[in-house]
Structure formats: C-alpha cells, structure tokens
Structure 1
Amino acid sequence: MRYLEQLPRFAFFTGKGGVGKTSLACATALRLADAGLRVLLVSTDPASNVGQVFDLQIGNQITPVPQVPGLWALEIDPQAAAQAYRDRIAGPVRGVLPSEVVKSIEEQLSGACTTEIAAFDEFTGLLTDAALEQRFDHVLFDTAPTGHTIRLLQLPGAWDSFLEAGKGDASCLGPLAGLEKQRSQYKAAVQALADPARSRLILVARAQASSQREVARTHDELVHVGLSRQHLVINGLMPASEAPLDALAAAVLRREQAALAAMPAVLRELPRDEIALMPFDLVGLAALRQLLDAGDAGASSTSPPPLPDAAPALAGEAAPSLAQLVDGLAAPGHGLIMVMGKGGVGKTSLAAALALELARRGLPVHLSTSDPAAHLSDTLAGELGVDPGLFSVSRIDPQRETQRYREQVLATKGKGLDAQGRAMLEEDLRSPCTEEIAVFQAFSRIIREAGRKFVVMDTAPTGHTLLLLDATGAYHREIARQMEGTGLHYTTPMMQLQDSSRTKVLIVTLAENTPVQEAAGLQQDLRRAGIEPWAWIINNSVAATGARSALLRARAAKEQPFIEAVARQHAVRYALVPLLAEEPVGADKLQALLGRRPD
C-alpha cells in the first residue's frame, strides 16, 4: 500500500460518508501495531463506530485494544468533551460570582458551539501533546464525513485568527473564555497540520463520479489549510472476475471503470491504492487484516478472498418498495419530510427521488439540504420532468448564511452604534460560533414553508444533524422560558419536529451491522428529543436484486438478518431499495429507486 510508505506521525483518513474510512483506518492501525509500532487510533466522528469494528467499548478515553498489543483507541465524544469543558469554565466561578452571572455563563455554554469548541480542543491537544509523542509512534485519525472534517481541520486557523484580533463581547463569550488560554496550543496545531513530514491525508473514495468529485473538492480545500501531503485510496472495487457471472456485477464494473477513467485531473496526480470489494462485513481482526492484504495484491488483478457459504438471497419483491412509502407521505398534501442517517447511505439520492415523485403527483415541493458536503445539483442532473412551478431546490450554505446573518445583525443591532461599538460588533461576528446561529436560522426559515407545501430536507450525516437538533432544542428551551406565564401561543421549530402530523422523519440505512446499529442509536436520540421516526429505508440492498455472482450472493446472505431486524425490531414501517446497475443520477435513474420502471 503506497500510502503506508514512510508514513508520518499523524495520518488523517477522510472522504464522503460510507466509503470505508473507519475500516481502512482500523486496518492500518492493526497493520502498524502488528509490525511492533505503538499506535493510537482516534475517531473525531460525532457518530463514531470504531468500537463496533473492534467489538470493544472505547469512549472518550485512551483505551487499549486487548487482542492487539501496541494498539490503543480513543473516540472523541463531543457531548462528554463539552461537559468537561463547561465544568472547567463555569466550575471555578460557582459560589464566587453572583448566581445570575453564573447562570448567564452556563447558558452561553449550553449550545452546539460549545460542543464544537470542546471537540476541537481535544483534537488540537492530540496534535501538540508532548507526552503522547513519547508514548506513540503514530496517531491515526478516523474523521467524520467530509464536510465536518473540513470544518474541523480549518478550525485551528479560524480560532487562532479570531483570538489574534479578538476583542469585544463575543456572543459565545463563555466558550471563548477557555480558548483564550490555549492560543499557543492552536498555533502548534496549525504548524503540525501544515508540515508534510508530520501529517499525511489519506483521501478515501469509491469508484463513483460523485465520490470522486467530493474528494477532489476536499483535496483543494485542505491544501489551503496546509495538508498538502495527500494520498488516494479507491475502496470497494468490483473484482473483474465477477463480471462474467452476473449482469449486475458486470454493470457495476463498467460503471466503476468509467468513473476511474473520468477521474478529476487533480486526483490522477496523487499516489493511489485500490482495494477490492469484500464479501463480508469488515468487523473483527481477521476481516480487517484481509482488507489490506487485498489492497497489497491489487484490486483489479486479484479475486476476493474465499467466500463463506451463502444462503439464498431474500426475495426483494416481498419487501415494501419506496413507492409504497410515498403513498403515505403524500396523503396530507404538505408537511416536512426529514431524511436522516449515517454518511454514505444514500440520503441525498433518496431525498431527491422522494421530492421528484411528490412533484410528479402535482404537489408543491421544496427540496433542500443541510449537509455541508451535499451537492443536489449533481444528483438532479438533466431534465427533471416536473412542473418548475411545483419544484424548487436549495442548499443551506454555511458561508453564505453566515454572511447573510452578519449583514442582518450589522443592519439592526449595529445601526445606532458609534465607530468603536460597530467595530466591536463586527469582531464579535467574525467568531466561528456565528456559523452555528446562521445555519440554525436558515434551517428554521426553510421548515416553516412546510405549512403550505412539502419540504424535503436532506440532512447532514448523523452526528452533524444531532448538533443541529441540539441547537433547535436550546432555542426551544429559551423561548419557552421567555414565554412562561405570558399566556401567549407560540410554536418553535422543535415543536414542529415533534408534531407527527406535520413532520415525518425517514431513517436511511444499509443492510449491514454498523449502519443499522447507528440508525437504531439515531432513533433513540430522536425519541429522547420527543421525535418519533415515521419509517426506515434500507438502501442499496443486494438481497433485493436477485444477483447470481458468488460475491454478491454472499453479500446478500449477510444482509438478511439486518433486513429482518429493521422489519421486526426497529421500524414501524420500512422500504427496501435495491442496488442499481447505474448510479442514481438524473430523474429517470432516481425514479428507479422507487421500485418502478421509468416511463
């Protein structure tokens, strides 16, 4: 594997959700530890599943992996980090300052901004901790899906610049109180990220046009941050040996080869490794070791490892289709539909397919996304075949929304200020915390439209979405506190999400162990927030295709217990969507996701 050659101390695995970052990071950590090196594997994903891969409870502390001498793991838990951060800032002033002041500080520390700062604080600490440098030869970062990772890797510079010029009473004064004390740590983190002798970025992608476009964008954005030493890994390639055995395998192989041939030029210039699609879940030490063995042999020149015995694939015709779910969704004539789940499960394609089908039925639809890395325009390529007056598309762009919010505040709160006061307000609005407020306001503005039309929201991967819901809950609590005792009627975005007659949440998963476990965890989080999911969608199911290739049959057999778990344990209603021979891009191919043939 070329990316392992002269591997620096820090390595970051990043890419679009679902491309195999966690599996590759875990397999790399295992290989380095097997070679006698001392390795720390860190997950910065708010929805980490490193523990599931090793069948080990890890959490927010450095934990040895018992079966692998020389390997330790850490999952940065944003909520635990935020609580520790709050205690560190607010704890010393309790009983010292007046209770109103302490309460004000605690309120400032209650939002998602504090969660982001606390996770960032731990991340930069790992890059600069001299004791860890003595203890470990390598620190590997299994990062969150692309948009969240870009944000994380940009933060050291963003916060350092803000603190360098910072003055004025920031809206997130409480969180910033702790940051000011660690400016030197952030400068050191920036230097570590920018040094190719110390840091390497491993871009993980699939042989898909959308995955490669996103990786190319990631490459450009992170070069500006200073991570210039980059390698590319194309994961999950269909072995050529499967193509003569099955029409679906042959179609997938053709699709992948075409995508590789059309790879963006900036990626073709990078050192590249290719890894074959495995017939089994990448959970457990034996499976992880086989992953890199296949990569060493070369994905295009080798057959996959020996297949396990495969039971007959589940008959896809017996499971509900996505079209059947649309019948229930369309009945009220309007409402909010939120499509949620782990990165890489196909939320964007499914949200687009649902929105187009509703518009084809003559219903007004606004399709939007809150995913920083989503690109609906790529999915909706070509002629859509719906009335343009019924169908609109938008994206919550954090940078644009932040700029809009700054201009709004300056035009209102800054209107009567003198030059010094306005300068202080502008400085306050340069805080990265401002983005949290701006994105929440955009989200609230869009979902209000659901009273007169359908709003289909393609959400960010699970962890990022939960942070947005955390901001929604914090806003609800503040409004409820202000309105208490007034007798006035009010409705907050959280109240809209909790109202099942107005909001339907669809949880998307794959028929695999980790995505189903994470989807079940998301459902529990939603229920704790008073939000009851309406349905589950199992996407990209091989079991629903009737494939005959030995590799695909093996994968279909592995899917069956997870399909049954969704149908019998987790979901009130569900739909099974087959793996398509062609990538679902454009109106006709999106319509194929519904379980109907295009007209």
Structure 2
Amino acid sequence: MTETKTKYLFFTGKGGVGKTSLACATAVKMADAGNVVLLVSTDPASNLKDVLESSVNESINSIKGLDNLFAININPENSAEAYRNRATQPLEGFRTKEEIDKIREDLSGACTTEIASFDEFSRFVSNEYDGTKFDIIIFDTAPTGHTLRLLELPAAWSSFTEENPDGASCIGPTSALKSGKKRYQSVVQKLRDSSLTSFYIVARADEVSLKEASRTSQELRELGMNNQLLHINGVFKSVNKDDQFANKIERMSDAQLNSIPENLKPLTITIFPLLPYNILGISKLRSLFDSEFQKSISENMIFKTELTGQTLEGIERLTDELCENEQHGLIMTMGKGGVGKTIAASAIAVLLAKKGLEVLLTTTDPAAHIQGFIQQLGELPPTLTVERIDPKAETQKYIEKVLNHKGQGQSEEAKKLILEDLKSPCTEEVAVFHAFSKAISKSKRKFVVMDTAPTGHTLLLLDTAGSYHRDIMRNNLNKGRLRTPYMALQDNKLSKIILVSLPETTPMREAGALQDDLKRAGITPYAWLINQSLSVLSGLMDPLLKNRANAETKVIDTIKSSYSKRVFGIPFIAEKRLLPTLLNSHLEESK
C-alpha cells in the first residue's frame, strides 16, 4: 500500500467489492504505525462489527485489541428518519396528515438518505465532534457527485416559502438541517484539497466493476477531487493447476487486469488476492498488507477444506414456473448494479421463447449489455423480440418537460437547482417508467421480460395524487397515465419480480433492502435468483474455490430462511460467451 499523508481517507465502490475490509485493514495498519485513527461507516448494510470483531454502534468506541483505533457506524436509515422528522415537524398543524405523508415519501429516496448521512459525517471532517482528537479519519463509503453538487447550489439553501414556493430539492427545507451552509462548503473544500483528502476507489477484476470504477473516478475529477488511488480486490490465482475450471477463472481475471480503462491507468494501483479465509479480526486484517502472513494463514487451512455443496433449482426451473398455465405476463429482474440482472433477463426470455411463447425482451441497460448477450446466440427464436429503451434519451425528454413546466418565471439559480435535482438516479427511473408503461400494456397479450425496474420508492411517488412534489426531480407530469402500470406491478398474478443477487453478504443485504422498499409499495417479489454461484458446481478441486463455495452456503441458507421461499441459482460461468454457455448447460442437464 502506498503511504498516504492525508488526514481524510474515503473508500468508495459498489457493494460486495470489499471496501469495508480494505478500509478496516487500512485503519489497522495506520493505527499500528502509531496514529490515532477513527473509522466511520455510513453503509446501511455495514458489517464493521463483524470485521473488527468488536462492538461498533452509533457512538465512538475504541476497538478491542488496539487502543488507538476507534470506530462509529452511522446508520443512514436512522439519520434519514431523524431528518424527515425535522423536516415535517414544523408543518404539523399547518398541513393535513395526507400532505405530510406525501412529503415524508418525497424524502424517502436514496438522495435524501445520503444527504442525511452527509449531515452526520460532515461533523467529523469539520472537527465538530466531541472527544478524542484523531490523526486520521477513514470513511467507509463516500458521498456521490450528485449530493456534493447539490450542496454547493445556493438555491438549495433558499427559504422554502420565498424562493421556491412550489417545491424544494431532496435537501429538504432549510429547517431540516442540523448544520448550515458554511459548514458544508468547508467540508466540500476539504474533500477537494489533495493534501487533506484521498479517495480509494475499490473494484474487482471484472469488466462491470472496472467500468463503475472508471465512472466514479471521472465524476470525482469533475468535482475537483483528484487525489485518487485504485484498489483491485479479490484477484484469483489458482492453487491447484490441475483444476481446469480454476485456470479459466484465472485467465479471465488476468485479461481484465490487462484491459483496465484508460482513465484508471495513471492511478496508483494496488492488487489484493482472493484469500481462502474470511477477513475477520485484527490479525487477519493485518494480513491484507502482508503477503508472508497471508501465506502462513493460508497454508494452515487451505488444503483442509471439504466441499459441502449447495442445491439450488436452476433458471430453467424458474422459467417453467413463470409460464406454468400462462401465455402472457410481466417479468422484471431487479437488483444492484453488477449482480447479473441482464444475463438473467436474457436467459429467461430466450427459454420462454424456445417454448414457442411470444416474448418481448426490453431493457434500459445504458451499456447495451443485453445486445452483447443476444448477439452471442446468433439465431434467435422466431417468437422473441428484443427492444432497448434508451435511458439517456428518455431522461433528457423528461428533463426538458419538467424544466419547461417548472422553470417558468423562476430565477436562474432556481432553474439550476431544478436541473441538479433532475440529475438524480430517481429521475431516470421516473423517465424510463414512462417508456416502460407502453411495454407493460403488452404483457396482457404476451410475456414481457424487463431488465431493471423502478424501486418501490419511485413507484410510490408516481402513484401519489395531488400537487407536484417538493422533490422536483421526481415530478410526474402524467399521473393518470402511470397509475395503471403501477397497479399492474401490484398484481402478483400478472407481474413477477425476480430479485437478483450474488451469493455474498453485502449484495444479499442490499437485495433485502430493495425487497423491503418494494413491499412498501405493495409489491412482493416472486423469487430470488443467485448468480455466479460456485457452491452449485460439482468437481471443484482448487482449495480456494472450494473455500469460497463453502462460504456461499451460509449466505444462501440465510436467503432461504429470511428472505424468500423461492430461491434459484445460476452457476459461476468461466466463459466469455455467458448466455450460450448458460443455455447449453440447461440443455445438457435436461437430456
């Protein structure tokens, strides 16, 4: 690891890439060097307590085994709830219960949660916390560019009733904030100061993860945050050279490392291997930066692993259930980025079409991955139609519509606020849902398979009657047209939502949170689909892979017991041509 001279270290990356482990390992390393270190997490699925094997809560506590390491876990959901209470309390007695409920739903999106979290952790950057003075403060998760840009807009801080009477941004009315504009401006400036702040972008050695890292790096640069380092975590090196499957995975990983996006190549890059043990406790955290220590731990356990295995019905069985006694319906694959929604939607659509059923496969995938998968097949079943909704085009049309409607008579600064609000991911969901509505209507005549779908929060906003929401980015200009599709999603006979997850703790927890979000909107997912599972494979010889497969078993058992009675699996595929390989394995199993 390259030594850093900065006081503030931010770890950012998609769920499941290992940023918590690397943040904790960095904190331990710096505490070992004699620094007084504070580790701050704003991850709703935080497992700091497990990783550090010490008590971690919403107060600053010292970590067992290291007197100069401290940690605090800011629960963003609790912060957001407190934020909503501060926003709505002054309105009690002046607004009806229904109006206040609408405002609370407006403030239930990801943007509001992040603003609330930023409000909490900004006091650590601005030195407004009580107690120990820290040499280094490490943040597990970093604020998005949208939040940082929003906090800089003067209009976001204007009076709720004076400058923007018809609505406010997801920052909420000024009265909702515990701290003021001056403190936030100071924090953003510190984030831009390369002598004070470093950003560690964490990724895996796979195409999707590296593309996300590339996008994050570019967005940070556009915000003037240039002190960046890249950590590539979990790089696989086979141990048993007789295991051809393991050798394939290693070759694929090496190929990705040799084709890192251009804007990431100038960064200081550190590669961390996939290890056969869980990174839990101070000792094993120390091993992340000590290859000899890794070797000694590994040698004591690596060849003692017995494969326990896991039984999951495959995607072909899921498809059979989806079309049982049905000739039409709506099927949506949902989940966080990088978990495999697109391969799942593509496979389900093709399997349905191969049964002679009429199928429309549609996607909002901005990277057009679905076309790449479909092109791997060559000839398509005659009953399969593939469409692609361009999210950028749909969003731009929606933004122009909202600006024309809400920007009339507003100051330039107010228009900037509206525009920044409209850069939220929620806006794209709303805009795309307009286009999705047309496809949803076709599900009464054929199977419509959709890759990605709006969250429960967005659906609730779309269904809310009454005036425009204060959160302008989520304004729905055609409420009447959208109510019927929303009701179609609540119809569990017509619509089946498939939650896609990886067999790892963080993606599982994120999918669980998404399921809760949908249930708030009256939608219960039909099934879970676990992608890239090693535990369903037989014949694994490599001890690293066997250990990884065994770790999956506990996660999958938790999903079965706590999240869904219907759980299906897609095996880990070590081939570039994913879709034909997946479909061919189905044909081979059915012989």
TM-score band by shorter chain is: 0.7 to 0.9
2:434 maps to which residue? 445
- Render the CA deviation track for 1:125-184: whole Å, top value 9, x for unaligned: 44323447972222222227xxxx5xx234223331353896433522681324897222
Structure 1 residue 251 and structure 2 residue 285: aligned?
no
Give the letter for the 2:525 counterpart: P
CA 1:422/1:590 → structure 2, altered by over 3 Å: closer, same or farther? farther
CA 1:334/1:138 → structure 2, altered by over 3 Å: closer, same or farther? farther
2:306 maps to which residue? 311
CA 1:117/1:493 → structure 2, altered by over 3 Å: closer, same or farther? farther
The total of aligned residue pairs comes to: 562
Structure 1 residue 323 and structure 2 residue 312: aligned?
no
User: SS of the residue aligned with 1:244?
Assistant: coil
1:8 maps to which residue? 6
1:79 maps to which residue? 77
Identity among equivalent positions (%) equals 33
Residue 380 of structure 1: CA displacement? 5.7
State the distance in 2 between where 1:561 and 1:374 align.
Answer: 34
Which of 135, 146, 153 lines up with 1:137 in the alignment? 135
- Render the CA deviation track for 1:163-210: whole Å, top value 9, x for unaligned: 389643352268132489722223212211211111111122222233
Q: Write the mapping of 1:568-583 to structure 2, written as runs, cut at 5 A.
A: 570-583=563-576
2:272 maps to which residue? 275
CA contact (8 A) 1:157 1:190 kept: no
Residue 289 of structure 1: CA displacement? 3.0
CA contact (8 A) 1:476 1:493 kept: no
Give the letter for the 1:272 counterpart: I
Structure 1 residue 390 and structure 2 residue 382: aligned?
no
CA 1:213/1:243 → structure 2, altered by over 3 Å: closer, same or farther? farther
2:470 maps to which residue? none
Which of 501, 519, 533 lines up with 2:493 in the alignment? 501
Structure 1 residue 409 and structure 2 residue 402: aligned?
yes
2:201 maps to which residue? 203
User: SS of the residue aligned with 1:139?
Assistant: strand
User: SS of the residue aligned with 1:505?
Assistant: strand
State the distance in 1 between where 2:233 and 2:531 align.
Answer: 19
Which of 457, 462, 479 lines up with 1:470 in the alignment? 457
Which of 81, 87, 103 lines up with 1:108 in the alignment? 103
State the distance in 1 between where 2:337 and 2:5 align.
Answer: 27
Residue 542 of structure 1: CA displacement? 1.9
Structure 1 residues not aligned, in runs of 5+: 481-487
Residue 329 of structure 1: CA displacement? 2.1
Residue 459 of structure 1: CA displacement? 4.3
Structure 1 residue 292 and structure 2 residue 289: aligned?
yes
Residue 426 of structure 1: CA displacement? 3.7
Give the letter for the 1:253 counterpart: E
User: SS of the residue aligned with 2:548?
Assistant: helix
Residue 391 of structure 1: CA displacement? 0.9
Which of 67, 77, 81 lines up with 1:69 in the alignment? 67
CA contact (8 A) 2:434 2:482 kept: no
Residue 390 of structure 1: CA displacement? 0.8
CA 1:187/1:413 → structure 2, altered by over 3 Å: closer, same or farther? closer
Which of 418, 421, 440 lines up with 1:432 in the alignment? 421
CA 1:377/1:557 → structure 2, altered by over 3 Å: closer, same or farther? same
- Render the CA deviation track for 1:440-469: whole Å, top value 9, x for unaligned: 423532443234244444449xxxx7xx32
CA contact (8 A) 2:335 2:514 kept: yes
CA 1:513/1:422 → structure 2, altered by over 3 Å: closer, same or farther? closer
1:223 maps to which residue? 221
1:484 maps to which residue? none
Residue 351 of structure 1: CA displacement? 3.1
User: SS of the residue aligned with 2:541?
Assistant: coil
CA 1:428/1:278 → structure 2, altered by over 3 Å: closer, same or farther? closer
CA contact (8 A) 2:399 2:422 kept: no
Structure 1 residue 556 and structure 2 residue 545: aligned?
no
CA contact (8 A) 1:239 1:303 kept: no
- Render the CA deviation track for 1:256-302: whole Å, top value 9, x for unaligned: 112222223332322121111111333444443333324x88x9x99
- Render the CA deviation track for 1:395-438: whole Å, top value 9, x for unaligned: 544xx555423322355567xx6xx4586874562352674663
User: SS of the residue aligned with 1:248?
Assistant: helix
CA 1:69/1:247 → structure 2, altered by over 3 Å: closer, same or farther? same
1:171 maps to which residue? 167
Residue 492 of structure 1: CA displacement? 5.5
User: SS of the residue aligned with 1:234?
Assistant: strand
Which of 237, 240, 243 lines up with 1:239 in the alignment? 237
Residue 529 of structure 1: CA displacement? 4.9
Give the letter for the 1:450 counterpart: I
Residue 379 of structure 1: CA displacement? 5.7
1:483 maps to which residue? none
State the distance in 2 between where 1:87 and 1:427 align.
Answer: 27
Residue 321 of structure 1: CA displacement? 1.2
2:475 maps to which residue? none
User: SS of the residue aligned with 1:430?
Assistant: helix
CA contact (8 A) 1:60 1:80 kept: no
CA contact (8 A) 2:361 2:384 kept: no
User: SS of the residue aligned with 1:306?
Assistant: helix
Residue 50 of structure 1: CA displacement? 3.1
CA contact (8 A) 1:18 1:343 kept: no
Structure 2 residues not aligned, in runs of 5+: 468-479
Residue 246 of structure 1: CA displacement? 0.7
State the distance in 2 between where 1:310 and 1:104 align.
Answer: 58
Q: TM-score, normalised by structure 2?
A: 0.81
1:191 maps to which residue? 189
CA contact (8 A) 2:501 2:508 kept: yes
1:368 maps to which residue? 363
Residue 355 of structure 1: CA displacement? 3.6
CA contact (8 A) 2:277 2:298 kept: no
Residue 235 of structure 1: CA displacement? 1.3
- Render the CA deviation track for 1:84-128: whole Å, top value 9, x for unaligned: 223334435646xx345x975664343125434323333444432
CA contact (8 A) 2:235 2:272 kept: yes
State the distance in 2 between where 1:127 and 1:374 align.
Answer: 39
CA 1:305/1:122 → structure 2, altered by over 3 Å: closer, same or farther? farther
User: SS of the residue aligned with 2:21?
Assistant: helix
State the distance in 1 between where 2:55 and 2:484 align.
Answer: 37
CA 1:447/1:89 → structure 2, altered by over 3 Å: closer, same or farther? same
Structure 1 residue 349 and structure 2 residue 349: aligned?
no
